[in-house]
Structure 1
Amino acid sequence: MDYLKRIWEYAETEKKWIKLAILLSSIGVLCGIMPYIFASSIINNLIQGNHDTKYYMLLCLFIFLGYSLKSILYSFALKISHKATFSILKNLRISIAQKLPRMPLGKIIDTSSGEFKTTIVDQVEKMERPLAHLLPEMTANILGPLFIIIYLLIIDWRLAILSLVSIPVGMIFMGLIMKDYASDYAKSVEVNTNMNKSIVEYINGIEVIKTFNQGENSYSKYENSIYANAEYFYKWMKKTQFSMSLSKAISPTTLITILPIGFLMYIGGSLEISSFIMVIILSLGVAGPLLAAINFIDSLAQVGTTVNRIDSILAADEQIHSDNITYFENYDIKIKDLHFAYDENKEILKGVDLFVEENTVNALVGPSGFGKSTIAKLIAGYWDISDGVVTIGDKNILDIPLRQLYDLVAFVSQDTFLFNDTVMENIRMGKVNARDDEVIEMAKASGCHEFIMSLEKGYQTIVGSGGSNLSGGERQRITIARAMLKNAPILILDEATAYIDPENEVKLQESISKLIEGKTVIIIAHRLSTVTDVDKIFLVEDGKISCAGDHEELLNKSNTYKDMWRANLKK
């Protein structure tokens, strides 16, 4: 099973402890067999008329030691396996956290937070049972019965075989369950993920829901996903209940064959009473551990789905860039014959050619859905480029280390995100080692200082999850201040003033004009009035640059631009 091999790979740093847990657990199971052996000796000696009290006391002591050692070793094994397991789970989550930045940023953005939550929290947590219990306990619970069966074969091979009859019969019913278990479990994960997505969406969208009085419709979607999750698990359990009950009822009935046939063999003279009693008692020790092992079969079936979900992140494609620091003589941006598709069946960019000179302000305009934001995000390194070339300062961006590329570009989107921290720390994200006075100075330069000081605790005000305690315009201005503090040579503004009222927009535009001096700037604009004074405008149509020039040139050269300008004037 490849997924068991993969689990063992997850446990790389803790293998010695998992092995020790398996060893202790196996010895514990063997110690658990001792009481059966000594109990049968006691019964045989009583039948034979042995009245030596000390002998029986000694055997009882061995029985007590067997149980005690089993419990002690089992406890130590579980302690070791759990300690190792939680270390493995920690490392798994760290590996996922370290993997995410190496994945295309666009892939991260396009995946719902509910789906990531299900994988990172729920699915990783489900590795606890196979790692802490399945490997040590299932191994031990298989080894224990194996040793008993070997011992039974030595005593009487006929009864040894008879003692196993009920187990495969019970397993037949278990097989009926396991036939579809993997697909059923995969479906349960899907249903649960959909529920998590709905919960996250409902909570994140509560403001919009209230604003447009869509509480009933939105709650219905949220409610339906929860009921769908509950209904699926109810039907699944109902479908498997009868077979599971039969399996657990039949498997341990080893005596159903041993007692009648063993009795016939005894009265027929082919079986001694001591051997008969020994087989009866030892056979009782076969079913218990095997049933305990069977209880892990559902975990085995789940492991495949769980591993696949975790590996969907750990084994996902990474952005492949050079590790060598690049030095730049300029920050010109050139794009040559760039093709790109999010979905292989739908190409977004169809051969883009573009040149942005350093220290100039440029705008990408055009109808929605034709690739403006995609061009900007490819420059910023959100995805790697496989068809075409993008260079910064004549250096292919694939030859620029990702960390350096992210330092080169400051990207401000209209979809702002703030951490649930203070205003001060949210701005400081642009430059983590910035002093408080530097943050405040940048806030003043960005036109944020006045509104920040009007907040209850000023710069120490907690903005709430995602910035929920602030208005859209306030969030936008803080993200702009954060980007400015970063002081990257290339600045991309994706409709960065979309949520700001006209009065403050004018002030902010004036602040931005001062702050972008000496930088290479690309503005994605939906309102043409905000970019009429830029150095160059690129008109994006149907995945290509159809026209370029300043505002007056485009009015004369492009009917599309002229129509967009007229529409802008009517607003």
Structure 2
Amino acid sequence: MEKKNSPFSMIMQYAGSYKRKYVCSVVLAVISVACGMVPYFAVAKMVTAMIGHEEKDMSFFVMWCAAAAVGYISKGIFNGISTSISHTATYLTMKEIRQRLISKLTKMPMGTILGSHSGHYKEVIVDRVESIEVPLAHLLPEMTANVLAPLLMLLYLFTLDWRLALISLITIPVGMAVMSTTMKSYGENYGRSVEIGGRMTNAIVEYMGGIEVIKAFSRSESSYEKYETAVNENAAFFYGWMKSAQWAMSAYNAITPSVLLTVLPFGFIFYASGSLTAGAFVTMIILSLGLLEPLIAAMNYTDNIARVSTVMGQINEVLESREINRTGKVTKMNGNTIEFRNVTFSYDNENDALKNIDLTIPEGKVTSLVGHSGSGKSTVAKLIAGFWDVTDGELIIGGQNVSDIPLEVQAEQIAYVEQNNFLFDETVMENIRKGKAGATDEEVVAAAKAAGCDEFIRGLDKGYQTVVGSAGGHLSGGERQRIAIARAMLKNAPIVILDEATAYIDPENEAVIQSAIAKLVQGKTVIVIAHRLSTITDADNIIVMENGTVSAHGRHDELLRHSQLYRSMWQAHTGTKGGAAE
């Protein structure tokens, strides 16, 4: 049977060089707890001296009072340093986990990411990783210290009277037995809370993301109902969970610290029988009070252990997800010719989006992919861009099978502009600069001019320094598209994919954009997907897709003569009946 790693062993895999910080934090925490017990020893010494009528001068009591004060102060100092170190190590570890998660997303197939709820990965990367901050920063050092230090004190109690030492621990198993009635199902309940909380998060994200549609179609009531149901479900679950656990936790909190209920009567019996001295009896009473406090604090972390286990399971589920298959053996491609050799591809492993296609996209030419919706043309583009792996067959770029090309190398060769492009909530200048790290302002402006968007950018309130809003919400669809084109042009990649990139361009600017693109893609391998056939009539090669296969290919005039499907599409586009006349 495969050995299952503990949640903390999994976390330590990401701690790396920060493990030493955690060790240092634990050592300081142990010292802190030990210092916190010094006052109990001091009180025990002074009370024993008083009831024993020992002749002690004032310096004796001053010394132990000073020892108690030093213990209190030292506890705070060592605890503060320990906490500071553990928090530093924790935030560095959380950073490492988040960086690995983000890096993992870039290697996963787009289908895996897009097939999940919109709030899932945000919740794991932000909320779930954040939830391990308290267990990591506090549980590791404090739980360890709160167990080790009392054990040392317990050994001392055994030297005084082993019988009373054992009796002082009776309330712990009794309290734990009561609490165990709820802890058995803690892991399951916490897992359910994560699931229900995830549904609530997804409902909130969906509601906020679709607020424009909700308002436009007056669907506020029905849409809010879905959100309200998710919130109520989350509240009802936690209320029910806490209610069912309340009696056991209350009993646990009442029973466990009640050490005097056992120590006092049995201690008196031992004292009365002469088997326990008054000094030892008093010392046992005082030290037993200090013994249980850290142990109870340590046991209170048990729910955090279950929480960490669930969270690390979610994190590892993402980190162990299937990646796009890349061996990384090839770091240089010979040219930019693209070949599909008997390629089959399926999004769901059931229905084929592409079926045994063979096609060649020559280097330095403009190739257009056309076809009805669902014909497979965008799938071809996304496979070239490295968003998915082919299911069967070979995809060759620059004479190399893409399975041998690292994703980052493939990405450097391709500029991808699709119909709906994402803009960051930054300035126009920085959004365009995403295409080329370190590009000068002059280079950015030159790309904007070439893409035909310099004029409208300068007309914005702050020109190139205008913040575009979340997802570019302060701009129109056409303006966002033109900025995305400028960003792709700035990248100056040898392969350019335009997936219906001019969909939002208004007719009066379309000629300008087409002219700009024509100049900027000269000498590059260009793949154009367009729903308006009039924009690709000058393409070097037009590939007609139908039901995931290549129906025909050739130039515009050739396809009008020889392809019934292309001719019907052209006629539908132009509103003519004798399309060949064009």
Question: Is residue 414 from structure 1 mapped to residue 419 from structure 2 by the alignment?
Answer: yes
Structure 2 residue aligned with 1:326: 332
Deviation at residue 498 of structure 1 after TM alignment: 1.7
Number of paired residues?
570
Question: Is residue 436 from structure 1 mapped to residue 404 from structure 2 by the alignment?
Answer: no
Structure 2 residue aligned with 1:378: 383
Deviation at residue 205 of structure 1 after TM alignment: 2.9
Deviation at residue 136 of structure 1 after TM alignment: 0.6
Larger deviation, residues 299-308 vs 52-61: 52-61
Q: Identify if the C-alpha distance between structure 1 residues 35 and 427 changes in structure 2 by more than 3 Å, giving closer, same or farther.
A: closer
2:54 to 28, 37, 50: 50
Structure 1 residue aligned with 2:150: 145
- SS state of the match for residue 326, structure 1? coil
CA distance in 2, matches of 1:216, 1:506: 44
Quick check: 2:172–2:256 contact (8 Å CA) kept in 1?
yes
Deviation at residue 565 of structure 1 after TM alignment: 4.1
Structure 2 residue aligned with 1:32: 36
Q: Which amino acid in structure 2 is aligned with residue 16 of structure 1? A: R
Quick check: 2:417–2:485 contact (8 Å CA) kept in 1?
yes
Quick check: 1:173–1:246 contact (8 Å CA) kept in 2?
yes
Q: Identify if the C-alpha distance between structure 1 residues 22 and 519 changes in structure 2 by more than 3 Å, giving closer, same or farther.
A: same
Larger deviation, residues 310-319 vs 439-448: 310-319
Quick check: 1:141–1:289 contact (8 Å CA) kept in 2?
yes
2:225 to 220, 223, 247: 220
1:503-518 pair list within 5 angstroms:
503-518=508-523
Q: Which amino acid in structure 1 is aligned with residue 164 of structure 2? A: L
CA distance in 1, matches of 2:52, 2:434: 84
1:116-515 pair list within 5 angstroms:
116-319=121-324, 320-322=326-328, 324-328=330-334, 330-385=335-390, 387-515=392-520
Provide Cα deviations, 1:466-492, integer angstroms capped at 9, x if missing partner.
Answer: 111110011111111221222222111
1:6-25 pair list within 5 angstroms:
6-25=10-29
- SS state of the match for residue 348, structure 1? strand
Question: Is residue 542 from structure 1 mapped to residue 547 from structure 2 by the alignment?
Answer: yes
- SS state of the match for residue 460, structure 2? coil
Quick check: 1:321–1:402 contact (8 Å CA) kept in 2?
no
Structure 2 residue aligned with 1:62: 67
- SS state of the match for residue 547, structure 1? strand
CA distance in 1, matches of 2:149, 2:330: 56
Quick check: 2:33–2:75 contact (8 Å CA) kept in 1?
yes
CA distance in 1, matches of 2:287, 2:447: 80
Identity of aligned residues (%): 48
- SS state of the match for residue 252, structure 1? coil
Q: Identify if the C-alpha distance between structure 1 residues 408 and 158 changes in structure 2 by more than 3 Å, giving closer, same or farther.
A: same
Larger deviation, residues 552-561 vs 229-238: 552-561
Q: Which amino acid in structure 1 is aligned with residue 31 of structure 2? A: I
Q: Which amino acid in structure 2 is aligned with residue 326 of structure 1? A: K
CA distance in 2, matches of 1:70, 1:425: 50
Quick check: 2:356–2:549 contact (8 Å CA) kept in 1?
yes
CA distance in 2, matches of 1:434, 1:49: 86
Deviation at residue 323 of structure 1 after TM alignment: 5.7
Larger deviation, residues 179-188 vs 85-94: 85-94
1:79-118 pair list within 5 angstroms:
79-105=84-110, 107-111=112-116, 114-118=119-123
Q: Identify if the C-alpha distance between structure 1 residues 191 and 337 changes in structure 2 by more than 3 Å, giving closer, same or farther.
A: same
Deviation at residue 289 of structure 1 after TM alignment: 0.8
Quick check: 2:448–2:486 contact (8 Å CA) kept in 1?
yes
Larger deviation, residues 7-16 vs 220-229: 220-229
Q: Which amino acid in structure 1 is aligned with residue 294 of structure 2? A: P
Deviation at residue 378 of structure 1 after TM alignment: 1.0
Gaps of 5+ in 2: 577-582
Provide Cα deviations, 1:138-177, integer angstroms capped at 9, x if missing partner.
Answer: 0011112222222222222222222222111111222222
Q: Identify if the C-alpha distance between structure 1 residues 58 and 429 changes in structure 2 by more than 3 Å, giving closer, same or farther.
A: closer
Provide Cα deviations, 1:168-203, integer angstroms capped at 9, x if missing partner.
Answer: 111122222221222222222233333333333333
Q: Identify if the C-alpha distance between structure 1 residues 480 and 25 changes in structure 2 by more than 3 Å, giving closer, same or farther.
A: same
TM (norm. structure 2) is 0.90
Gaps of 5+ in 1: none
CA distance in 2, matches of 1:435, 1:110: 38
CA distance in 2, matches of 1:220, 1:499: 34
Larger deviation, residues 119-128 vs 198-207: 198-207
Q: Which amino acid in structure 2 is aligned with residue 39 of structure 1? A: V
Larger deviation, residues 531-540 vs 78-87: 531-540
Question: Is residue 5 from structure 1 mapped to residue 9 from structure 2 by the alignment?
Answer: yes
Quick check: 1:446–1:480 contact (8 Å CA) kept in 2?
yes
CA distance in 1, matches of 2:220, 2:503: 26
Provide Cα deviations, 1:397-449, integer angstroms capped at 9, x if missing partner.
Answer: 23333222112111111111112222232223222343333333332332223
CA distance in 1, matches of 2:28, 2:433: 52
Deviation at residue 570 of structure 1 after TM alignment: 5.1
Q: Which amino acid in structure 1 is aligned with residue 332 of structure 2? A: T
Q: Identify if the C-alpha distance between structure 1 residues 214 and 569 changes in structure 2 by more than 3 Å, giving closer, same or farther.
A: farther
Structure 2 residue aligned with 1:526: 531
CA distance in 1, matches of 2:439, 2:167: 78
CA distance in 2, matches of 1:448, 1:391: 35
Larger deviation, residues 148-157 vs 532-541: 532-541
CA distance in 1, matches of 2:28, 2:462: 58
Provide Cα deviations, 1:9-64, integer angstroms capped at 9, x if missing partner.
Answer: 22222222211111111122222233323323333332222242333333333333
Q: Which amino acid in structure 1 is aligned with residue 245 of structure 2? A: T
- SS state of the match for residue 119, structure 2? helix
Deviation at residue 137 of structure 1 after TM alignment: 0.4
Larger deviation, residues 430-439 vs 402-411: 430-439
CA distance in 1, matches of 2:450, 2:373: 32
Aligned-pair Cα RMSD in Å = 2.6
CA distance in 2, matches of 1:85, 1:441: 45
Quick check: 1:13–1:88 contact (8 Å CA) kept in 2?
no
Quick check: 2:15–2:96 contact (8 Å CA) kept in 1?
no
Q: Which amino acid in structure 2 is aligned with residue 251 of structure 1? A: T
- SS state of the match for residue 11, structure 1? helix
Larger deviation, residues 312-321 vs 391-400: 312-321
Provide Cα deviations, 1:64-83, integer angstroms capped at 9, x if missing partner.
Answer: 33333222222222122222
Structure 1 residue aligned with 2:579: none
CA distance in 2, matches of 1:5, 1:266: 48
Quick check: 2:333–2:399 contact (8 Å CA) kept in 1?
no
Quick check: 1:540–1:546 contact (8 Å CA) kept in 2?
yes
